[in-house]
Amino acid sequence: MVVSKPIHVDVDAVEHNLASEPVTRLSDIDAFTQFGTRFGALSHIDEALRQIKFNLIAAKSSLTYTHAAPLVLAFGALVLGSWDLGSGELSGGGDYNRGGIFGSESGFLHVTGGALVLSFLSLFISVAAYVLLMVIFPLMRENLLYLIFGILAVEYGHIASHASDPYFPIDSDLATWAGVVIGNGIILFVSLGVVRRSVMETRDFHVEVSHIHPDPRRMRSAHEDHSLLLWNVSLFLWLLFLNISAWSGSHAVARPPPILGDTGGFVILHIISGLASFALLMHVSWYPQFMMGDSGGSIQSKLARMVSEGMGSEKIEVEIGTCPDCGVTSSASREGDGSIIVSCRTENCEGRGLVGKECEYCGAEYTGSLACGSCGATSNVEDHFSTQGELW
């Protein structure tokens, strides 16, 4: 089988980003709750709490003040875009006879000067926050663009539903729900069908290529170390808080003038849920990059990777070996130039290198014979690669 060359990661980020910590892998974290022992269905809660502990340790060692900058910008944009700050535009209800953005009679051009300045400031700071997010997490840059498109769809959906019914969703008919349903349909397709699939398949590719080992126990450990349970929880919570923020922001300004009652509670809910939504988006962006390491590649689905790498003739292919006796994937790989890479046979050594060279970690020589971790048969590493026909 021939697969594309893996993302250029020299070492696993989980190992080295946590080198100064006593715990270096997710598999080294012991579960500190035992809900699953009494109720089997609650075992996922034990696992999620275990991963939260690991994420906190990982964040402490890998995140810096730079990573807090997008969160500060997001908070500033939320406050500037949802609070009057002396302009009186939102609390006064504005002029409901004017609407739209373009044209000399558009409502946007007839707001007070202070409100217009706050609106533009909020817009520019929001753009800066998302751009900074893409700069800090380059592996997720393409997927962040998809998620931003989904965010706009959800926000516009809530605005459209409130335009039909200012008190949405109280006593709203089915037609009024159309905006929210369509907006959420778009973001569910983008987040689950595109982004989640890309991250999951890139994780599988990373483990199968970068952590391949003849010992099945080591492979199971590698899969456990790269679990995305908590990441999936963050993705779900992000969708939830995004909808709460979009609804509360739209609800706070949708009532026809004069605005009755105090809408401050909705504004506060909009800011808090919006900030939580952005923080969860940061986790959704950070963890895949932390887990797979900094590289010049990107996180893509299997199909997208095949298409993008098929467009460049400079791409090098790597053939993954298979045991000649049982056909199970082995730990050997052959580069495009014909050189063969194998794993070090020394126990507990993580080294990988060219056959005949010395391991840079333990000094042992990479031998040309390979023992299958499935059937136990020992064979020459050359026999693990096919030489007939076109490989795929």
- Quote the domain boundaries for residue 359: 317-384
Residue 198 and residue 143 in contact, taking contact as beta carbons nearer than 8 Å = yes
**CA 175 – CA 205 distance, rounded (Å):** 44
Residues 266, 337, single domain; the answer is no
pLDDT of residue 316: 44
Residue 257 and residue 89 in contact, taking contact as beta carbons nearer than 8 Å = no
Residues 155, 218, single domain; the answer is yes
Q: Is residue 5 very low, low, confident or very high in pLDDT (cuts 50, 70, 90)?
A: very low
Counting DSSP H helices and E strands in the chain, the numbers are: 13, 7
**CA 113 – CA 74 distance, rounded (Å):** 23
Q: Which residues contact 185 (CB under 8 A, 6 or more apart)?
A: none
Q: What average pLDDT does range 173-189 have in this prediction?
A: 94
**CA 252 – CA 115 distance, rounded (Å):** 16
Report pLDDT digits (tens) over 324-371: 777 777 777 777 666 778 877 777 777 777 887 888 778 888 777 777
Residues 285, 321, single domain; the answer is no
Give the gyration radius of the chain's Cα atoms.
26
Q: What is the DSSP string of 182-248?
A: HHHHHHHIIIIIIIIHHHHHHHHHHHHHHT--S-HHHHHHHHHHT--HHHHHHHHHHHHHHHHHHHH
DSSP state of 177: G
What is the reported pTM?
A: 0.71
| Number of structural domains found in the chain | 2
Q: Is 261 left (phi over 0), alpha (psi -120 to 50) or beta?
A: left
Q: What is the DSSP string of 333-375?
A: EE-TTS-EEEE--STT---EEETTSBPTTT--B--SEEE-TTT
Residues 263, 326, single domain; the answer is no
Q: Given 277, 302, 327, which residue is the final one in a domain?
A: 302
Selection from 2-11, 218-227, 273-282 with the highest mean pLDDT: 273-282
Residues 253, 196, single domain; the answer is yes
Q: What average pLDDT does range 194-203 have in this prediction?
A: 89
Residues 259, 329, single domain; the answer is no
Residues 36, 184, single domain; the answer is yes
Q: pLDDT averaged over the chain?
A: 77
Q: Is 85 left (phi over 0), alpha (psi -120 to 50) or beta?
A: left
Residues 360, 273, single domain; the answer is no
Q: Is residue 253 very low, low, confident or very high in pLDDT (cuts 50, 70, 90)?
A: confident
pLDDT of residue 135: 92
**CA 331 – CA 304 distance, rounded (Å):** 25
